[in-house]
Homo-oligomer: A and B are copies of this chain.
Amino acid sequence: MNALRSPELDETDWKILAELQSDARLSFNELSRRIHLSAPAVAERVRRLEESGVIAGYGARVDPAKAGQPLLAFIQLRCSLSRCLLKTTGADDFPEIAEVHKLSGEHCSMLKVRAASLGHLEGLIERLGEHGELRTHIVLSTQYDDRPLAPTTPDREVSDSAGWARPGR
Interface residue tally for chain A (C-beta within 8 Å): 75
B23 touches A59 (CB 8 A): yes
Binding site for B on A (CB under 8 A): 7, 9, 17, 20-25, 52-64, 66-69, 72, 74, 86, 91, 95-105, 108, 110, 114-120, 122-123, 137-153, 156-157, 159-162
User: Which residues of the partner chain B approach A161 to less than 8 Å between Cβ atoms?
Assistant: 119
For this complex, 7 residue pairs linking A to B, each with C-beta atoms less than 8 Å apart, are A55-B62, A68-B152, A95-B150, A101-B145, A102-B139, A104-B137, A116-B160
User: Which residues of the partner chain B approach A157 to less than 8 Å between Cβ atoms?
Assistant: 116-117, 119-120
Which of these, B67, B138, B140, contacts A149 with CB under 8 Å?
Answer: B67
Which of these, B62, B72, B123, B142, contacts A159 with CB under 8 Å?
Answer: B123
Question: In the complex, A139→B100 CA distance in Å?
Answer: 10
A23 touches B58 (CB 8 A): yes
B62 touches A96 (CB 8 A): no
User: Which residues of the partner chain B approach A74 to less than 8 Å between Cβ atoms?
Assistant: 74, 101, 103, 110
User: Which residues of the partner chain B approach A91 to less than 8 Å between Cβ atoms?
Assistant: 143-144, 147
**Which 10 residue pairs spanning A and B have beta carbons closest together?**
A119-B160, A20-B60, A95-B150, A100-B143, A24-B58, A117-B160, A101-B139, A100-B144, A56-B61, A54-B66
Question: In the complex, A69→B17 CA distance in Å?
Answer: 14
User: Which residues of the partner chain B approach A159 to less than 8 Å between Cβ atoms?
Assistant: 119, 122-123
Q: Can you name 14 extra interface pairs (CB under 8 A) apart from A52-B66, A96-B152, A122-B159?
A: A7-B66, A20-B59, A21-B60, A23-B57, A24-B24, A74-B110, A99-B142, A99-B144, A99-B146, A100-B142, A102-B141, A104-B137, A116-B160, A120-B157
